[in-house]
Structure 1
Amino acid sequence: MTLTHKKDCITFDKGAGRFSFLPTGDIFEFTYEDFLINGYWGNCIDGSVNNIYLRVYNGDRIAAYPLLGRQSRSELLAGRNVLVHRGCVDGISYKVAFHPAKEDIWFWIVDLSAENKTADLIYGQDAGVALKGGVLTNELYMSQYLDHMVIKGENGYTVSSRQNLSQGGRNPYLQQGSLNTEIIGFSTDATQFFGNEYRKTYIPKVLYSNLPNVNYQFELAYIALQTAKMTINGNKRVVFYGIFKPDQPQPVTEILYAEELLRAYKSIQDSCEILKKVKKPPLKLEFGTPFVSEEFSENEICKLFTDRKLEEKADGKLLSFFTTYHTHVVLQQKEVLVERPHGHIICTRPDMRKVSKGLISSTNYMYGIFHSQLTAGNTSFNKLLSNARGFLNIIKNSGQRIFVKVNGVYRILTLPAAYEMGICFSKWYYKIEDDIIIVTAFVLADRPAAALQVSSRNGRKYDFIITNQLAMGEHEYFHPANILNMDGTILISKTVKEPWDPYPDLNFAIHATDFEYKIADDRIFFADGKPRNGTMLTIQLSSAEEFQLIIEGRMDRSDSSIEKLSKRRLDKEFKRYADHYRKLFSKFHLSGPESEQIEILNEIIWWYTHDALIHFAVPHGLEQPGGAAWGTRDVCQGPMEFFLANGHFDLMRDVLLRVFAHQYLETKEWPQWFMFDKFNYQAEECHGDVVFWPLKSLGDYLLASNDISILQEKIPYRLLSSHMVSEEKTTLLQHVKEAVETIEARFVGPGALVNYAGGDWDDTLQPADPSMKERLVSAWTVALAYQTLNQLAKALDEVEPEYSAKLKGICSDIRESFHEVLIKDGIPAGFVYFNDDNTIEYMLHPLDQKTGIKYRLLPLTRSIIAEMVDREQAEKNVDIINNHLSFPDGVRLMDRPARYAGGVSRYFQRAEQAANVGREISLQYVHAHIRYIEAMSKLGKAEKAWEAMFKINPILIKKSVPNAELRQSNTYFSSSEGAYLNRYDYQEYFDKLRDGSIKVKGGWRIYSSGPGLYVRQLVSHLLGIRFAADSLIIDPVLPDCLDGLRFDFMYSGYDISFVYHMSSDVQEVSVFFKDHKIQAKKLDNPYRPAGVSIDGDLVRKLLKDHSVFDIYLPLMKQD
């Protein structure tokens, strides 16, 4: 059997515009050239996200009726240039006619007929307004840059949506409104229209209230318009319109194209077309509404989950908790309160010694996606199942879903009573009458495979249908699939072997471990037995109380010979994963005072290890499904620093060799990002800081491992022209020297200041003016350059003394230039700009007269971490942070946001383009907050560092950040975002963040360097345990309240325990073993009394006899 999607659409072609409807009358897609105008593809079972609702008022009661498509009762008719939905509800006859007037203009004409009826209309339309590839890759990201301007005109509100992010040099634009009826209400995001509770009710929340008249710039662009109430006595016509333009260079300040719209409307008014009835694909009567579980009672929760801890409650109600098995359980009550749905990414066990290939990864969501974006290896291209779309579960065909027959009707399982996540699995608990159905998705530990298991707690038998939307490539609907069903295994392979595809033989096997089944496509849903979604594989089984599917990824196996997999037990797989994780985080465990905070850290170590592995091994996130690549700076930070903290030097070595082998032969710099498998996709440019990260990571590795042999490894380059591997190979040391030469070539101004080039760590501050690349200097990049080259000089001191001396000389020049130029009036500037006459402009500094921004965090913290400033200047930096950049939810990147003026860039690109207050735009980017913790540790400011750890820890976060909104408690969030409606609201009321009078939300989850960096700060800088060249460093920075803390860890394969003692009688760090002081070498730190280094052989010798080291340290000065 071959599954191929054939677009069985009613299509209206108008020049560059194409308007495609499903045979149900729902929108499939509206396109203009390569632009996708709507945001989500519809399907014949769910319909589309858009609709027009007729609301009829009977006294205090409102009855709401969708008029379009699958969700309506409408009869469907089509003409050459019109699509008509007509019917009668609640005594009102209606006809909705869609007219494409031009390639870029369309109308929805609603004719109503009744006697003495009061009604209004609500129009809703999802918006993509970007290149199709961009919307399909990440509709959330595109929505963040879609600026909605609401303008009141002759017919009430009009909403204009301009895409601020350049789309091939253009800024597409969508305007929607009414030609003849007053629009009194509007909303701009699907979360406003449908509500978070839609995941439970499946009823848009606005239908029984009014639109909020609020411009909310979030991530699910959805334009809704509400008419004034109408008294219908006879006939009434309402005309909605949409107009799309491929390029709107300037922000919108008024309603545009009024005359063009009127001319277009007149052109269709006199049209008279022959209409033919379109038979809607009828669904079988045995398919019913989505199944939403009843909530668990308190007694049921106690019986199912006996060992609870770290309970989260609101208004006395339990929302979530952790268990002693390091799982996290979310109750239904919480899911309907959060904006971002609870989700989890699981992947098969990665190797601890080298970069793994062909790992299976899968994403699941609490609202009823059991597997999605299931991939083998590359998380963009080697995809079996499609991605989840949006946050609200409106379109329910994505990924893998389950229908269960209850009382003779098949119902899709959606929101459970409880959702449990472990490091390698997720479980859904559904109450069905007096039974509980448990669905489990998990990954196997010994092979690239993922399982789906369903069981009845009381042994009841049910009929099931499992749907699987196959992608077999980057996006659904594009790639056909061969299906071979053979003796309990379903083999799924590509139909076409593309010459560009390095994995032409990739296939997947679905093993039915112990049950009989039937396979089909989606025809089983339709009464006429015809398929509509050619990418849907359905698996049907009858009278089963339990079953298990195992999906195996087969990367390079073109043969059809398959080893049948037998049923697996979750408890055994989980144990193997738990053992693996303990090795990864070196058996980390804390015990002692401050018990709740200690318990939080013991729990988060499991989850941040998980998130760090996802970021490293299968790069993507819950909100960022596209990935599959290593950002050069990213992989050299989070993953490498996690491995460094835990002593995984073999893996570090392998990563370093791979990273250095992606250096371009022609430029001797690295790409901003690159895929690390057989795909040769990588960026051709990079930001100005990227060149330093491989060098810094190498320096970290050399100083910790003393593996100087890596310097003589001969490795290739990549060719800029083709991205292919070069024939030429040179030693890694030569790669280093060539990279340093590129750094020297970028020095500008007096001394040794490296220029900004394409940007620095803050991606939103890429220069808008290309000339700024050469003349702008980032103080943060300069501090990073000093730290990197200084550290590299130390690492090469013995093996390459002459080159080491050269690097030290460069560092001396950099340091001198930093102090002479970049620090002005005692304040490090964010940037300096060198004019043609060599005069200097200070930016992001009190002298800045352009941007309005006076302080930037990054140079303040990096200059401390790099030990580039003296103690006096370091304290000035801290004072600036305390006075201008510290907020209740953490430290912010700048003291003010960049000015927003409709999305047009003046100085910076994304900082001035994003319409949404999210990610870096929120300014509390958690990665930078973690580096602040590192700086505070360097200075010995123990209380600040310790408190800062909990401001960004999602577990019970409201105890540390009282104004924090509810969020998922077991995932890293990349930003803390003020709950502002839009950028203008943000600019006007920014100071609410300072006093905590506005709520803060968690941003995008998982895909970040942050989890690995967080673990590094905790282990290496607060607890102070670090690995050096065959020695153990003990250099803790802990507040006095942790006196008596015990830290269990591993060193060189030995279990080791550290017990911390704080005392005013102690003047310097000392370590005792069985009451005897251990001989140790004192470390250097320019800011505080430093710790000590103990010879590795001595440590190993002592550990053969005993495992407890007592650490005595002086009381840290109070902040």
Structure 2
Amino acid sequence: MNLTNNLIELKAGKTSYCFLPTGDIFEFNHNGIMLNGFHGNSKDGSPNNIYLRIYKENSVTAYPLLGIRSRSKLEKGNTSLKYTGIVEGISYEVIFYAKESVWFWEIALNGNGETVDLLYGQDIGVASSGAVLTNELYAAQYLGHSIFSSDNGYTICSRQNQDQGGSYPYLRQGSLGASVIHYSTDGMQFFKTSYKDTDIPAALTEDLPDINYQFEFSYTAFQTEKFNLNSSKKLAFYGFAAENHPDAITSLEYDAEIKSAYQALEEDIYTPYPFVTLKREFGTTYSSPALSPEAIDALFPSRILEERNGEKLLSFFTKDHSHIVTKEKELHMERPHGTIFISCPGELEEESINGKWTDAKGAISSTAYMYGLFNGQTVLGNTSFHKFLSTPRGLLNIQKNCGQHLYIKLDGTYRLLTLPALFEMGMNYASWYYVLEDDLLKITSYTAAHKPYVVLDVTSQKEKSYDFILTNQMVLGENEHTKEVSFAEIPHGLHFTGISTEYEALSYSMFLSGAKWQTSDDRIFFEDGISRDDTFITITMNETSNFQCIIAGSLNGEDSLSVPTIDFETEKAAALDYYRNLNGGFKLSLDCKGENTRIDILNETAWWYTHNAMIHFASPHGLEQPGGAAWGTRDVCQGPMEYFLMTQNYNLAGKVLLNIFSHQSHSNGEWPQWFMFDRYTMDAGECHGDVIFWPLKCIGDYLEASGDYALLQREIPYKDLANEQFTLLHHIKRAFEAVKLRFIGNTGLITYAGGDWDDTLQPVDPKMREHLVSSWTVALAFQTLRRLGTMLKETDSNFAEKLSESSQKIADDFKSLLIKDGIIPGFVQYDNNEITYMLHPVDKETGINYRLLPMTRSIIAELVSPEQAKVNMQTIDKELKFPDGVHLMNRPARYNGGVSKLFKRAEQAANVGREISLEYTHAHIRYLEACAKIGDSSTAWDSLFTINPILIQESVPSACLRQSNLYFSSSDGSFTDRYDFAENFDKLKTGSISVKGGWRLYSSGPGIYLNQLISNILGVRFLADSLIIDPVLPDYLDGLKLHFNCFNRDLDFCYHISVKSDNKDNLTNNRISVSIDGIPVSGETILNPYREGGLRVKKELLEKANGQIDIFVTLP
């Protein structure tokens, strides 16, 4: 039965209240604004509820009054719903009243002197339905809460600070007839991380904390005063929605409207609704007991990089680069351990359908979480529009219908598997270890290395037989409940088609082997045997000790209708080979006890950040950011391109460039901020001011590294001239024409346009697009045009000269106009030759005096003098360098209720996370690059570990526990809200407040990090005809060895590092000298304005090497 045909809808004007047949909330919507945060489901209920708590001498017991988790009888009226029941002799009646813009939960209690209170909890979205369903975490970051005290205790008002189609929705929640004495604002406070283990909200036996916690699970909770039920008691909770609240919330509003609506409530006529109950054979969830230390030793005898809390083992790595986490650690984590695994991306091919270079076979990917989500957002190709299984939602496993889960029958009762004793993650898989009575159940989900298959293996260690139910929430498109789920039965499985119009041949098959199986839907859970959700497919297997489920995808109609033969160990080995070849066989070694742990950290990071980088490139999405499917123009030009050039994957890099340039607009010469790189044509339309320079920078970098000038003559279309072909050089010249239009007046300053790298600093005033200048963008423009002019001298000397002239003009005006009192401002306003400095010590308007980005980029670009570079680094060290890394600015932007005055997101975000937290990991990596450029070896080396998640507390004592094998995009101070952040910001600098890891995996950062490590710190950089050897390493790394593939040769680099007073081994007076197989070789010294540069060694010398390269480094 289709879900939408099975909902109870109460409609009042522009407001619609949709309930499931169980009485749980599905969706509240006010004129397109989704007021709740999650769609409930009939099996698990909704995150919201009202709990009656009964107090006895030494205990408190909580009873839900609504939905499937209660025992309430449901009756439906014309404009209301009634829930009735009895718990411990207390009779209750809850009536939900639906009015336009406002709802009421009216509760009537009758008892015999019991002491009780009520808990109210409501998940809230308060954003457009599309925004909430795309990413409820992101929507929550911009939902600002304000707490007020009134006659009825606490009231919470929430404003969506991001524009939702021209409006800023508002929701007020409170009580009538009883005083709310405690509150909370985030589900992490109400449910807590222990929910993943207990399946019980922690708040049911505690007082709410009275803290406005602006995290990523917006959830309003109220706790009433206690009262004795000596007689009947009536009270109500309400929610009031307003379409637009343009101003900041400063006081309680809409009192009259709420009271008037409540007083106008009328008696309704009710009809009993069918009572929905779960079958008794479905019991509580199953969270595994811990494994003993001896059992862990038996499973994983060889471990490295152990993480412990006292004597308790939290996590570790293995020699084959898997990462294992214990249940103990998971219960400390707000962000649950998870991973995305992907089949190894294939070669890019030119599609005849649109001339784009894409992976024609497609990579299949799947998301897994430790809490028992075995597959989610399983998707071949486009991660937004090709979803097979649904996306996991939230952070605490509250919505257990998402994706793929597994029930096991134990002692006659089906138990949903949740937390395991151990969770293992590898390059292409995840494994869960569940301790059962006299058995160990291992579940592994993995991708085949070179086939579009996702495989689930379930195995009993003792070969015991069990009954299982595998649940799958299907999408077959973009979002669940938007497409009818249908399939054809095939031998040993099911077949799904009709998913995409752009990819008409896209199909999926699901195969089962190892057990007899029976397909059904969610009807198997209910006593009445009625289906209530057509997105649900259940597969029941009886009496089996092992089984395998294979999801096979195909973009081109090459369907496999017979069960593939797949073996986990074979696919694991093939994936390891793929990643080993991709990362050039990177391996460090050092016989030095003091740095051995750090060497192990970097070796594991090389594997995992390669994995992370390929997810970002081939299947763009992350754990907290499941939406994606596109390349950010700026992003793909950094992480993937830097990684591919650093590892000499020139063929792939060239094809990526062709794809990027095919998305350039001929009409304006620029690129969209982001674009879908496959057959889908969606893109952002406009872009920030820096975006145009990144593809041009990539061309210069690519030509220098590969020497592939033939690429300039390859013909590709513009996005708005799709039927015509133009050379890549034509595209480059068109972009330069667009750049020239961006210069302000006769200066070399570039207009800010829609923004720069820091997306949070988009200007509110549209006039700023033409008059604001980002110093960082100007430095990037100089670097790009200078490099491109140099690289094109032999190809088109006239054009190259124009590029060089422009870069010189930019350099002159940067130095004369953008440096004041020795400090580079973040921005200047340039209007009628008047300059106003912003984000600078003279800036009195923003309160922000220093900005990191232009200080580092001007050094990386070799734009500023050595003296200015020294000032830049001293300023960073003094003003922007904190224990958890360098920060984007010395103060956060002002927050005044989420209303923007100067900048959009920086002044709108209620949450302290991502760029708002100011320690954005990507920017810290660019700081490493600047350190390497000036030769600050100790700082560059140490700073690698400040932002590395593996054993991070050894480098950052204030760091909270975080997942160790995935890149985190930011370091977020543990502040409750923006006001706390502003008031206590200095605690970050002293390290007196803890810091948490931000969003994971989906970033260009992993590729950039590895490029800095290999190219600029270890100093191995490729040119078309030579290798630059330019290490920036401290002397305590003397004896360090690097194994790495260069020019298709596996080479071993050995670093001999000494200080100038003891340079006996140095064969010349230069900073660097090189021997190949014991024979000194000569080379050209590379120019560096800030220090003596590296040595350029001819390619043919290295191609003759037997494998040993000795590098002698003399430190000043």
Task: State the TM bucket, normalised to the shorter chain.
Answer: over 0.9
Tell me by how many angstroms 1:82 deviates: 1.6
The one-letter amino acid of 2:791's match is A
Tell me by how many angstroms 1:539 deviates: 1.1
- CA deviations over 1:1072-1097 (Å, ceiling 9, x no partner): 12332112111110111111111111
The one-letter amino acid of 1:911's match is A
Selected match of 1:401 from 400, 405, 415: 405
The one-letter amino acid of 1:637's match is Q
Q: Is the 8 A contact 2:666 2:734 kept in 1?
A: no
- CA deviations over 1:500-526 (Å, ceiling 9, x no partner): x20133210112234321111111112
Q: Give ranges in structure 2 of 5+ residues lacking alignment.
A: 350-357
Paired with 2:119 and 2:902, the residues of 1 have a C-alpha distance of 40
Aligned equivalent of 2:672: 671
- CA deviations over 1:1044-1072 (Å, ceiling 9, x no partner): 00000001111101000012224420001
Aligned equivalent of 1:125: 122
- 2:1106 aligned with 1:1110: no
- 2:971 aligned with 1:970: no
The one-letter amino acid of 1:542's match is N
Aligned equivalent of 1:722: none
Q: Give ranges in structure 1 of 5+ residues lacking alignment.
A: 720-724
1:877-956 to 2 correspondences below 5 Å: 877-956=872-951
Aligned equivalent of 1:415: 419
Secondary structure of the residue aligned to 1:757 is coil
- CA deviations over 1:463-491 (Å, ceiling 9, x no partner): 11111100011100111122111221211
Higher mean C-alpha displacement, 282-291 vs 339-348: 282-291
The one-letter amino acid of 2:391's match is N
Paired with 2:300 and 2:44, the residues of 1 have a C-alpha distance of 35
The one-letter amino acid of 1:739's match is A
Tell me by how many angstroms 1:281 deviates: 2.1
Aligned equivalent of 1:715: 716
Tell me by how many angstroms 1:117 deviates: 1.4
Aligned equivalent of 2:105: 108
Tell me by how many angstroms 1:115 deviates: 2.1
Selected match of 1:1037 from 1028, 1032, 1040: 1032
Secondary structure of the residue aligned to 2:235 is strand
Tell me by how many angstroms 1:273 deviates: 2.3
1:219-258 to 2 correspondences below 5 Å: 219-258=216-255
* CA distance 1:1111–1:353, change in 2 (3 Å): farther
Selected match of 2:821 from 813, 818, 825: 825
Tell me by how many angstroms 1:242 deviates: 0.5
Tell me by how many angstroms 1:750 deviates: 5.0
Aligned equivalent of 1:342: 337
Paired with 2:1077 and 2:1103, the residues of 1 have a C-alpha distance of 15
Secondary structure of the residue aligned to 1:816 is helix
Aligned equivalent of 2:804: 808
Paired with 1:93 and 1:24, the residues of 2 have a C-alpha distance of 20
Tell me by how many angstroms 1:87 deviates: 1.3
Paired with 1:89 and 1:480, the residues of 2 have a C-alpha distance of 40
Selected match of 1:795 from 788, 791, 797: 791
* CA distance 1:749–1:877, change in 2 (3 Å): farther
1:487-886 to 2 correspondences below 5 Å: 487-494=491-498, 501-557=501-557, 562-592=560-590, 593=592, 594-719=595-720, 726-835=722-831, 837-886=832-881
* CA distance 1:1009–1:300, change in 2 (3 Å): same
Paired with 1:371 and 1:934, the residues of 2 have a C-alpha distance of 38
- CA deviations over 1:267-306 (Å, ceiling 9, x no partner): 10xx222222212222221111111111111111111111
Tell me by how many angstroms 1:958 deviates: 0.2
Q: Is the 8 A contact 1:352 1:648 kept in 2?
A: no
- CA deviations over 1:114-151 (Å, ceiling 9, x no partner): 12211111100000100001100000000000000011
- CA deviations over 1:294-349 (Å, ceiling 9, x no partner): 11111111111111110001132111111111100000011110110000000111
Paired with 1:811 and 1:922, the residues of 2 have a C-alpha distance of 34
Aligned equivalent of 1:1080: 1083
Paired with 1:482 and 1:65, the residues of 2 have a C-alpha distance of 39
Paired with 1:217 and 1:504, the residues of 2 have a C-alpha distance of 43
Paired with 2:3 and 2:17, the residues of 1 have a C-alpha distance of 18
The one-letter amino acid of 1:910's match is R
In the superposition, the TM-score normalised over structure 1's length comes to 0.97
Tell me by how many angstroms 1:353 deviates: 6.3
Aligned equivalent of 2:1050: 1055
The one-letter amino acid of 1:926's match is T
Q: Is the 8 A contact 1:389 1:398 kept in 2?
A: yes
Q: Is the 8 A contact 2:491 2:561 kept in 1?
A: no
Aligned equivalent of 1:484: 488
Tell me by how many angstroms 1:205 deviates: 0.8
Aligned equivalent of 1:82: 80
Higher mean C-alpha displacement, 790-799 vs 350-359: 350-359
Paired with 1:391 and 1:562, the residues of 2 have a C-alpha distance of 35
- CA deviations over 1:834-870 (Å, ceiling 9, x no partner): 23x4211100000111100000000000000000001
Paired with 1:556 and 1:225, the residues of 2 have a C-alpha distance of 53
Question: How many residues are treated as equivalent by the alignment?
Answer: 1096
Aligned equivalent of 1:424: 428
Paired with 2:1103 and 2:583, the residues of 1 have a C-alpha distance of 19
The one-letter amino acid of 1:33's match is N
Secondary structure of the residue aligned to 2:112 is strand
Q: Is the 8 A contact 1:779 1:828 kept in 2?
A: yes
Q: Is the 8 A contact 1:5 1:478 kept in 2?
A: no
- CA deviations over 1:679-737 (Å, ceiling 9, x no partner): 11111100000000000011000000111111111111012xxxxx5222211111111
Selected match of 1:326 from 321, 328, 342: 321
Secondary structure of the residue aligned to 2:901 is coil
- 2:377 aligned with 1:381: no
Aligned equivalent of 1:449: 453
Aligned equivalent of 1:437: 441
- CA deviations over 1:513-546 (Å, ceiling 9, x no partner): 3432111111111222211111011111111111
**RMSD of aligned alpha carbons:** 1.2
Higher mean C-alpha displacement, 73-82 vs 527-536: 73-82
Tell me by how many angstroms 1:749 deviates: 4.7
Secondary structure of the residue aligned to 2:230 is strand
Tell me by how many angstroms 1:75 deviates: 1.6
Selected match of 2:300 from 295, 298, 305: 305
Tell me by how many angstroms 1:563 deviates: 4.0
Secondary structure of the residue aligned to 1:1087 is coil
The one-letter amino acid of 2:110's match is S
Paired with 1:24 and 1:566, the residues of 2 have a C-alpha distance of 41
Q: Is the 8 A contact 1:352 1:584 kept in 2?
A: no
Paired with 1:607 and 1:82, the residues of 2 have a C-alpha distance of 53
1:183-262 to 2 correspondences below 5 Å: 183-262=180-259
The one-letter amino acid of 2:184's match is S
Selected match of 1:1095 from 1072, 1087, 1098: 1098
- CA deviations over 1:970-1028 (Å, ceiling 9, x no partner): 00000000000000000000000000000000000000000000000000000000110
Paired with 2:666 and 2:2, the residues of 1 have a C-alpha distance of 42
The one-letter amino acid of 1:1077's match is P
Paired with 2:920 and 2:664, the residues of 1 have a C-alpha distance of 28
Q: Is the 8 A contact 2:183 2:222 kept in 1?
A: yes
Q: Is the 8 A contact 2:68 2:277 kept in 1?
A: no
- CA deviations over 1:870-894 (Å, ceiling 9, x no partner): 1100000001000000000000000
Q: Is the 8 A contact 2:514 2:546 kept in 1?
A: no
Higher mean C-alpha displacement, 855-864 vs 224-233: 224-233
Aligned equivalent of 1:993: 988
Secondary structure of the residue aligned to 2:556 is coil
The one-letter amino acid of 1:552's match is A
Aligned equivalent of 2:355: none
Tell me by how many angstroms 1:154 deviates: 1.5
Q: Is the 8 A contact 1:4 1:481 kept in 2?
A: no
Q: Is the 8 A contact 1:1046 1:1058 kept in 2?
A: yes
* CA distance 1:115–1:514, change in 2 (3 Å): closer
